[in-house]
Structure formats: structure tokens, C-alpha cells
Amino acid sequence: VLAVVLGVMFVSGAFVLTDTIGRSFESLFTTAYSTVDVQVVTAPRPGQDSQDMVLADPVPASLVERIRAVPGVARATGTVLLDGARPLSPSTGKPLGNQFGTPAFGGNWAGEDSLVRLRAGRGPEAAGEVVINAGLAATGNLDVGDRLTVRIITSNVPCTIVGIMEYSGGRGSLAGETTVLFTTGQAQQLMLGRPDVFSEIDVTAAPGEPARVVRDRLRAALGADYQVKTGAELAKQQSNAIKDALRFVNYILLGFAGVAVFVGVFLILNTFSIIVAQRIRELALMRAIGASRNQVLLAVLTEAVVIGLLASTVGLAAGIGLGAGLAYLLGTALGGLAPVGLGVPVAAVVGSFGVGLLVTIVAALLPALRAARIPPIAALQEAAIPDRPLTPIALGGGAVTAA
């Protein structure tokens, strides 16, 4: 049972972990794009990754007025938001934030909305003034009025914190990122290298106008030079990218499962061989009172099925606990990624019972066939089957161990 539990635990744990984290990121990106009905960015150049917003050409500020003139558009806001503004600790000079590759965003302060609001202070009004997210403030022990140095590429930009912002629900960060927001003019110069450009333009549809309809109108008005997507499409795109990146965790845990299952096959085979050897007289007596070989075979395999079902159930429960624990640790490492509930996909249940039953039955098949071949006369013998010399087995096992 323990051998099967270990293998099944890693199988179910892998699926539970990736499903739980995937759902958490899906909720995260849905929240992040909740204020965006449609987003406009420059179309990627030939050979450029459509996901690479750092290298994408900026959008001219004049495009904002063109977008506002499209029917169904209630508001168009130019936004600067790029990874690459790493805040430095005032005391040590080292980068602030966790070291798990989470972004260090730099951008422009565009005011409060349903996603972002000020927890303290005000928005930046002059060059050198910044608003930071509450997660960064907590990590660096920073407050309104403190000085902060932000490293952008190779330049260190001195700033004064004039505001601390939070996300909806009182969250200090969405997934452990650090965010430093300048005035629009300074953000354009620092993050994009020139004035009067934005990294993207966020569009709010007029009341009653579906986002897809506004998206299609914008695509027709702007042409092929720009990429136009709804907020829902962007959230799904980012979520799928994260889920693809999480596959390596699946591979690692399934690798452990493979090793556990491989070892488990031999443990189960040996266990059933010992059990059959200990019950030779009992099985022979069953044959003597009329049990057929198939009935004996079925009896031993039924025991294997019962063990497989029991072990798979325990292994599934242990895997759910393993997946939940790893999801919590990973979420904590990413800066407190908010879980949206434990995910137990159908694949975890099917995989757990499939692996548990298959491994147990396959491993028990050879001992079961041996049990079926026990003759009825063995019930009358003290030792039904003489011991075989272990020399060939020992030599073979030794060779495998040495290899």
C-alpha cells in the first residue's frame, strides 16, 4: 500500500499544484485587466515575439485622439508600464523585491480607478516624485516622504516617494511585483526613451457597447500597424503563458512518480510472491475442494484490486495535501499570490486510480499465475515447493546494482 501511495501521491500532487496555481494566476490577470475593455499596442515586427512588450515599438501619443473618435469609445488613456525599474534599498543599495524573477514595473501615474487607489499620500506632480505599491513599501520599510533610488538599465534615478498605492481588495501587490510610477513625462523619457509615446493605450467602452464590438471597430480604424485585443483576451493570453511555464513543475513531480511507481512494482511483486508462498497449503486446499485455476487467479487479483483501490484513495488524498502545500509555498515565494481555492482536476482522480490499480494488478499478476498453478496435492505436503537456489538471482541483482 505504501509503495502505491507514494507513486499516486506525486501523480495527483502534480495535477493539483498546477491546477491550483493556474487558477490563481487566471484570477490575478482577470483582476489586472478588469479596468481594460480593449488595449491597443504596436503590432510586433516580423520575427518579434508578440508577447515581448519590452521590445515592442511604443505607441505615439497622437493615437489617443484617433481612438477617442472611434464610435463606442468612452475613454482612451495612454499608459507607460514596462518591466525594468528596479528599486534599490536605501540602506544596502541592493534591489528590493523577491528574487524569483517577478517584474519590477516602471510607469506613469494615471490616477485612481477600480483597480488602483492611493493608500497614503498623493500622485506625482513633478519630475522626481513617485508613487510606489504597498508591497514594495512593506518590503523596503518605505513611507511617504522617503528618498528612493530606482535603477533603470544602468542609470540610477533619485526619487521622492509622495504616494503609496494598493490594488483592489487592499492587496499590496498582485504577485510580488514592485511598481514605481512617475509623472507621465518622466515615465516616457525613462522607460521609453523619448516623449509623446506610450507603451499601450487602454480603452474603456461606452455603456452598452460590447468590448468585442469596440475591438473590431478599432481594428478597422487603425489597420494592421496596431494589435487590438480585449481585456478578457489579454487575461487569458497571460494566464495561458503562465500555465505553460508551470509545466516543468508537472514534469518534476511526475518524474518522482515514475521512480516511485517503478520501485513499487518490484516491492508489490515481492510482497505478493511472499504472500502466495506463505499460503500454498491454503490455496492448494481450495483447489482440492473444487476451486479452478481461474478462481484462484481471480482471488489473488481481487486482493490486488482491493489494495490498489485503498492505496489510490490514500495516495490521492496525500497528493491533494501535497499539491495544496506546494501551491501555498509557491504563492508565498511569489509575494503572496492570492489562492482562489484548491483545484482538483479530473485528471488527478483518473490518473491516481489508473496508476494505482494498473501498477498493483501488473505487479501481482505473476504471483497470481504461480498461485493458480499450485496443485491440489500440495495441501497434503509439509513443503509443497522446494526452495530454489538464489545464486542466479543474487548474481543478476549484483550486476544490476553494480551497473
Structure confidence at residue 53 (pLDDT): 44
Helices first, then strands: H and E counts in the chain: 11, 14
> Given pLDDT bands bounded at 50, 70 and 90, which one contains residue 54?
very low
pLDDT tens-digit series, residues 228-262:
999 889 888 888 887 787 778 778 878 888 888 88
Average pLDDT value for residue range 80-87 = 89
Indicate the DSSP class of residue 382. Answer: S
218 is written with which cell numbers? 478599432
Mean pLDDT along residues 324-331: 82
Once rounded to an integer, what is the mean pLDDT over residues 156-176?
Answer: 86
Using the predicted structure, report yes or no on whether residue 211 has a pLDDT greater than 60.
Answer: yes
The DSSP line for 122-183 is ----STTEEEEEHHHHHHHT--TT-EEEEEETTEEEEEEEEEEEEEGGGBS-SSS-EEEEE-
- Dist CA 339 CA 359 (whole Å): 34
Residue 250 in grid coordinates: 508537472
Examine the pLDDT at 223 and tell me if it is beyond 50: yes
pLDDT digits (tens, 9 = 90+) for 349-372: 998 898 889 888 888 888 888 888
| E-assigned strand segments in 208-301 | 226-230
Residue range 145-160: mean pLDDT, rounded: 90
Q: Which residues pair with 131 in a beta bridge?
A: 163, 181
Distance CA 291, CA 309 (A): 26
Burial class (CB in 10 A: 0-12, 13-18, 19+), 246: middle
Q: What angle do CA 65, 69, 75 make, to 5 degrees?
A: 70
Half-sphere exposure of 175 (CA within 13 A, CB side): 21
Report pLDDT digits (tens) over 20-32: 888 877 777 877 7
- Higher-confidence residue of 199 and 329: namely 199
At residue 161, the pLDDT reads 94
In sequence order, the 6+-apart residues with CB closer than 8 A to the CB of 148 are: 87, 88, 90, 130, 132, 140, 142, 158, 159, 160, 161, 180
Sole residue written with cell 510607469: 107
**What is the pLDDT, as a whole number, of residue 49?**
54
Entry pTM = 0.67
The DSSP letter of residue 376 is: G
The percentage of the chain sitting over the pLDDT mark of 90, rounded to a whole number, equals 33
In whole numbers, what is the pLDDT of the chain averaged over residues?
84
Helix axes 346-372, 2-32, angle to 10 degrees: 170
**Percentage of the chain lying above the pLDDT 70 cut:** 92
Alpha-carbon span 237 to 17, nearest angstrom: 20
d(CA 168, CA 319): 33
